[in-house]
Amino acid sequence: MGLDAFTRWVLTLLLVKNVKWIILLSFCFPKDMKSTKQSMLLCCKHYVSESCNHGALDSIERAGRLDGETVIVNKFQDWAYNRIGYTLVSYIVHDITGNIIYSPLQQTLQSMVEAADKAINLELHCGAHPRLGVVYDIVFHLLAQASLEEAGWFARKAAADIGNKFQGCSPTHGQTLGDIIQRELGYYHPNFMGNQWSGWDMLEVLPEKPDVGPNMVYGARGIVMIGALPWVSMYNIPIVSTDISATRRIARMVSATRGRLPTVQTLGLFHGKDSTEIACQRLEPNMFGAEQVQYQVEMLAAQEGLGVEKGYFTDFSPDMIIEKYL
């Protein structure tokens, strides 16, 4: 059957058990979904514990480019932390009743996770940023007309796909639950030289069974946390000092736990040999702008006698991401 220039047929064969019928289901949608204004878009950010092994990163990014319907709109590589973050975007397809059928992002994500799993051994990894696994955080965000419910559907699907295929531990989470899981697993405590996370020295058996996968942890792979959240903005502020204690004090004073900025989570970290920085996670970007976070850090740093550089974003805004995708 020939396909015209405007229409692609997705053919699904369903073999009904104990029945010798083969049912052919067809769904029709525009070939260039990216140009369709009514498309619902899905964004996925995932972080990989590597930034220096170019061979590993090349294999991960080749896997991410296999399907042109999913676009890597941003790659944030941080050598000091020895990690890299990818932002993927694609469209969502529904059936005529409104139920989710598919997104090309599903297979792209799984291919990238598989490439990372083959190329990276967590037990050999060391970096200045907390992590729980080779691929340790996969978060789905809604874009355009997509809903948080739809992002959650894809998070659960990704957890099932990854947990079952790689037999890895895949807890699913929202922001609060994710933070609790991280604290229980010692995510925030460096285990090497007081400021590095090296190898895997956490629990080999999880205290609770994850949503998907075994509760035994394979140290070379670690744990992947998967969830869906409203848009979260990452903003890091360099501190011109190696006094990590002072940086962490400032971070605690800014964060939601001390009440100054209730929707901002912070972490004080070493960043290279000559500086530290405060990594800020703005859970509700419209409530507190980056300039407000910057001001609070500068004010508190001045009290400590420390200099502060202008902060930087680790990703684009939702509008910019949509623009780059289209």
* Residues taking part in catalysis: 129
- As separate numbers, helices (DSSP H) first and strands (DSSP E) second, the chain gives 7, 16
| 195 to 133, 275, 311: CA distances (angstroms) | 18, 12, 21
- Give the separation between CA 207 and CA 56, rounded to whole angstroms: 32
Name the DSSP letter for residue 187: T
Neighbours of 237 (CB within 10 A): 26
Length of the chain counted residue by residue: 326
Closest CA to 56 of 64, 66, 68: 64
Sequence-ordered strand ranges (E) for the chain: 7-15, 22-30, 40-48, 71-78, 83-94, 100-102, 126-127, 135-144, 172-173, 197-198, 225-228, 233-240, 264-270, 276-282, 307-308, 312-313
Closest CA to 118 of 56, 50, 200, 47: 56
Q: DSSP 3-state assignment of 120?
A: coil
- Give the separation between CA 59 and CA 223, rounded to whole angstroms: 21
- Give the separation between CA 267 and CA 282, rounded to whole angstroms: 12
